Amino acid sequence: MKKEELIQKAYEIAAERYAAVGVDTEKVLETMQDFHLSLHCWQADDVTGFEVQAGSLTGGIQATGNYPGKARNIDELRADILKAASYIPGTHRLNLHEIYGDFQGKVVDRDQVEPEHFKSWIEWGKEHNMKLDFNSTSFSHPKSGDLSLSNPDEGIRQFWIEHTKRCRAVAEEMGKAQGDPCIMNLWVHDGSKDITVNRMKYRALLKDSLDQIFDTEYKNMKDCIESKVFGIGLESYTVGSNDFYIGYGASRNKMITLDTGHFHPTESVADKVSSLLLYVPELMLHVSRPVRWDSDHVTIMDDPTMELFSEIVRCGALDRVHYGLDYFDASINRIGAYVIGSRAAQKCMTRALLEPIAKLREYEANGQGFQRLALLEEEKALPWNAVWDMFCLKNNVPVGEDFIAEIEKYEAEVTSKR
């Protein structure tokens, strides 16, 4: 029997099993077609970017490893992204940092960036049916230091305010060109390695900077703001903490970004979803895998990620949450890292959508705790993977482990040239 026939037969059995607990697998497949990840461009080149004057990576973040074959220029990066996307079912977006502009070999400082520097990206996105999202870039710059938007040096602070204003203008042009809002994420590394006695001062400065940045309203882009616990070399104090951005986001009606690596190891990011959605319009996810710290390991189907996607479905928030990946693993094949992480996130969403939520809610409403827990356990063994395989088959991408050999072949081709 051919593999395609086996997949079809397994799916038909799975559909019957799920129907018995009130789940329509065809509806799940339809919903998955509307699940779009924002692929992070920085996985392909270890957060290097294309600035002529680029320096070493700073800002409390690290790309660990030196696996051969990383993208060295804009053409190689685009080729790698398209190659990765060919193994990921569905249609997806691309998330760009400002340092990935097409600067044409010219020195363009961060406070001089213009939409024209991303014109080729906009055209490329249209050509490949890949809509764009955007990020300002406060790290890896001579004026980065430990403080950017919260810097008491007014000249440096205004430099970064101007940079971020210009990034919002770029995002507006991206959104206008693609007919869909470009989501622009704002994260700054600002903090202190050791004890600070000026916590309030720096946060007041950050608040004022954000107010200046967001003073201009746009129709074709959406802002999101991202917190962090700490960065390497900035362990004792982070200006843009979770508490800071929750307060700012709720008071300014801004989207909050939840990066799964930006919280204490024992914190549940999933538990934050229902609370935040009561006070802010939408959420952005940066899905990665922290190991002891924000180490940006490749996303896998681990318990925290599955719980996060389950909570989004349980909250009925599919239309209020956006999904991006954010890891930069340089220790393994970078295209393979894209594919593993993307497919893992999609698998987690597939499983979340297959949860027999109606029956579970019925048990909970009736106080039937035993039945609720029993069904939660038994549904883990239902054949969700057969539905996932069918999703891949319908989207003409490799099913199962078939992509491994194909990526190995591509790797052999490109590493000999790079």
Binding residues for Mn(2+): 262, 294, 296
Distance between CA atoms of residues 271 and 274, nearest Å: 7
Whether 272 is catalytic: no
CB distance 209 to 225 below 8 Å: no
Whether 92 is catalytic: no
Indicate which residue of 187, 207, 272, 329 is catalytic. Answer: 187
Distance between CA atoms of residues 164 and 134, nearest Å: 11
Distance between CA atoms of residues 332 and 67, nearest Å: 6
CB distance 285 to 299 below 8 Å: no
Indicate which residue of 45, 226, 379, 389 is catalytic. Answer: 226
Whether 226 is catalytic: yes
Whether 286 is catalytic: yes
Structural tokens at position 278 = 């009561």
Whether 262 is catalytic: yes
Indicate which residue of 40, 189, 262, 272 is catalytic. Answer: 262
Whether 102 is catalytic: no
Residues forming beta bridges with residue 283, ordered by sequence position: 256, 321
CB distance 152 to 201 below 8 Å: yes
CB distance 225 to 258 below 8 Å: no
Structural tokens at position 52 = 């002529």
Indicate which residue of 228, 254, 297, 322 is catalytic. Answer: 228
> CA nearest 284: which of 84, 93, 85?
93
Residues forming beta bridges with residue 183, ordered by sequence position: 222
In this structure, the number of other CB atoms found within 10 A of the CB of residue 24 comes to: 14
Binding-site sequence positions: 262, 294, 296
Phi first, then psi, for residue 399 (nearest 5°) are: -95, 135
Whether 413 is catalytic: no
Indicate which residue of 259, 282, 329, 379 is catalytic. Answer: 259
Distance between CA atoms of residues 334 and 346, nearest Å: 18
Indicate which residue of 80, 190, 282, 326 is catalytic. Answer: 326
The catalytic residue positions are 187, 226, 228, 259, 262, 286, 294, 296, 326
